[in-house]
Amino acid sequence: MSLTVDYNEIQRSVARRLGYPIASANRSTDEQDSINDAIRTGLRWFYFPTGEMTHEWSFLVKLYQETLVSGQNWYLLPDDFERVASSVDSSLTDHPLTATTEDSIRLRIAGEGLSGGPEYCAVRNRQVEGDTRYEFGVYPTPDSAGTLSFWYLFSPSIISESNPEPLGGAVHADTIMLGCLAAAEAQMNPEMLAGEGGVHYQLFNEKLAAAVMSDRIQRGVQ
């Protein structure tokens, strides 16, 4: 039996904290929605820490590799892309690319129109079939086939009956559970977050700080 938490265990605990029936069959639609809202909020607090604990988890980064095409500046990124999390390397250039803005790339293409090994890169939003997706741009315009690679922070899928286990594994199970319970507390009493928060919120932040420090050490990040 795995020591990680899953959707059913989390929702039972959140239901208990909110005072709702433990058995899902006995809950109203509004009660189930409140439980799912707390779980989503708690997972966001865990997956994307902010403030002094801003951190990119080692289990939330993926390697992106793209084939550069001669004459093509922009490339569609995966639909789970959040942000670039490492240096950007190209087989057409012997050093990392310099990050800039979409406007800078666009103006350079229009004004200079250089081709060769890419030196600059940028990320931009794009609407694809009604959804917001990201594209990755390079300049100068590649003049031959090559490869592009970097690590990126991705957005995890929401947990559910069909996707029951949150990312992080058993080592982060207690922190994840506390985050969801803290979100349930905040749902019951939003004013808690204006101060030190409830018991679960305080415990969550203590566990989160320790987990972030451990993950930074593991990744060699200070």
pLDDT band at 190 (very low <50, low <70, confident <90, very high): confident
At 122 the pLDDT is 98
Mean residue pLDDT across the chain: 92
At 42 the pLDDT is 97
Q: Inform me whether the pLDDT recorded for 66 exceeds 60.
A: yes
At 1 the pLDDT is 61
Closest alpha carbon to 152 in 26, 33, 29, 65: 65
| Domain boundary assignment for the chain | 7-55+168-219, 58-154
Q: Inform me whether the pLDDT recorded for 222 exceeds 60.
A: no
3 state SS of 177: helix
pLDDT band at 193 (very low <50, low <70, confident <90, very high): low
Threshold 0.75, pTM exceeds: yes
3 state SS of 138: strand
The distance in angstroms from the start CA to the end CA of the chain is 35
Match 């080592």 to its residue by tokens. Answer: 171
Q: Inform me whether the pLDDT recorded for 11 exceeds 90.
A: yes
Q: What 8-state DSSP symbol labels residue 2?
A: -
pLDDT band at 202 (very low <50, low <70, confident <90, very high): very high
The token duo for 9 is: 């265990």
Q: What 8-state DSSP symbol labels residue 153?
A: E
pLDDT band at 84 (very low <50, low <70, confident <90, very high): very high
Average pLDDT over residues 16-42: 96
DSSP string, 69-124: -TT--EEEPPTTEEEE-S--EETTSSSPPEE--HHHHHHHHHHT--BSS--EEEEE
For the chain, percent of residues with pLDDT exceeding 70: 95
**How do residues 31-43 score in pLDDT, each as one tens digit?**
999 999 999 999 9
d(CA 154, CA 62): 7
At 221 the pLDDT is 57
pLDDT band at 195 (very low <50, low <70, confident <90, very high): low
Closest alpha carbon to 64 in 126, 130, 105, 121: 121
d(CA 83, CA 61): 10
d(CA 39, CA 204): 14
**How do residues 118-166 score in pLDDT, each as one tens digit?**
999 999 998 777 788 999 999 999 999 999 999 999 999 999 999 999 9
Q: Inform me whether the pLDDT recorded for 191 exceeds 80.
A: no
Least confident of 24-28, 128-132, 177-181: 128-132
d(CA 36, CA 191): 21
In this structure, the strands spanning 74-76 and 146-154 are unpaired
Is 91 within 8 Å of 146 (Cβ atoms)?
Answer: yes
The token duo for 199 is: 């018991």
Closest alpha carbon to 109 in 137, 141, 148: 141
3 state SS of 192: helix
